[in-house]
Amino acid sequence: MRYLYAPPHCLKFLTGKTLCWQIPTREKKIFLTFDDGPTPGVTEQVLEILQQFQARATFFVLGKNARENPGLIENILSHGHAIGSHGWDHLNGWKTPLKTYLANAESFPLPLEMPLYRPPYGRITPAQAWQMKKRGYTIVMWSVLSRDYEPRLNRQKAFQQIISLTRDGSILLFHDSLKAASNCLAILPELMGHFSAKGFSFESLSLAPAFLASGQQNNDIFVPPKRS
């Protein structure tokens, strides 16, 4: 079961210098991330749940959704959450030529306080990753996948898997999309309640210690050079 919810160790080891899979910290911090939004009717509910727990999170939004829903983007930012890019419209990097991929990623319409990028489907070729790094992006993957997009997800099993895999500095992946809404909105409060009771806090990646310590680099994470 574990392999369904967490990336294999060998993949993390092989790509650890290029891709960020977790935040190296010994503090009780969890980094919640939400992909594929913003989605009217869903993102607002996610924001409400986050507010109940005084949480900060990171939204990897699609460029086209951001363009269509500027009010939701404002809402996300006004609640103190971070925004990262998920490309313009969810291209699969493994099936997309380099030039097309970069053009798609570069058409992202929002200025980013911190240049964070999550490849759609988590699929990115080494050449695409290198070019995105060269453009100053930190490529953020995940430590634990919620599988909230599965229509027949056994929520209780998913919940158990997520809590058994989550550690200090884990990056958890959810979706504020229509497809994932029912699972995401059901699992999220339960999960946040569980970890809050254990003394964890929820922070946005813009506050991640690894990103704040500029110039620091280790095997787990790529930190881009400081932008002038």
Interface with Zn ion, residue 148, by CB under 5 A: no
Residues 10-49, one symbol each (x = binds Zn ion by CB under 5 A, - = not), give -------------------------xx-------------
**Minimal distance in Å, beta carbon 119 to Zn ion?**
9
Dist CA 47 CA 76 (whole Å): 7
Element (H, E) at 14: helix 9-15
Judge whether 86 counts as a catalytic residue: no
Mark residue 149 as left, alpha or beta (left: phi above 0; alpha: psi -120 to 50; beta: remaining).
Answer: alpha
Catalytic entry in 81, 86, 148, 175: 175
Taking residue 151's Cβ as centre, other Cβ atoms within 10 Å add up to: 8
Judge whether 9 counts as a catalytic residue: no
Name the residue nearer to Zn ion (CB basis): 13 or 121: 121
Dist CA 93 CA 102 (whole Å): 10
Number of residues that bind Zn ion (CB under 5 A): 3
**Minimal distance in Å, beta carbon 180 to Zn ion?**
10
Residues 89-128 touching Zn ion, rule: CB under 5 A, are 120
Dist CA 18 CA 158 (whole Å): 28
- Length of the chain, please? 228
Catalytic entry in 9, 35, 176, 220: 35
| Contact residues: Zn ion, CB under 5 A | 35-36, 120
Residues with a catalytic annotation lie at: 35, 175
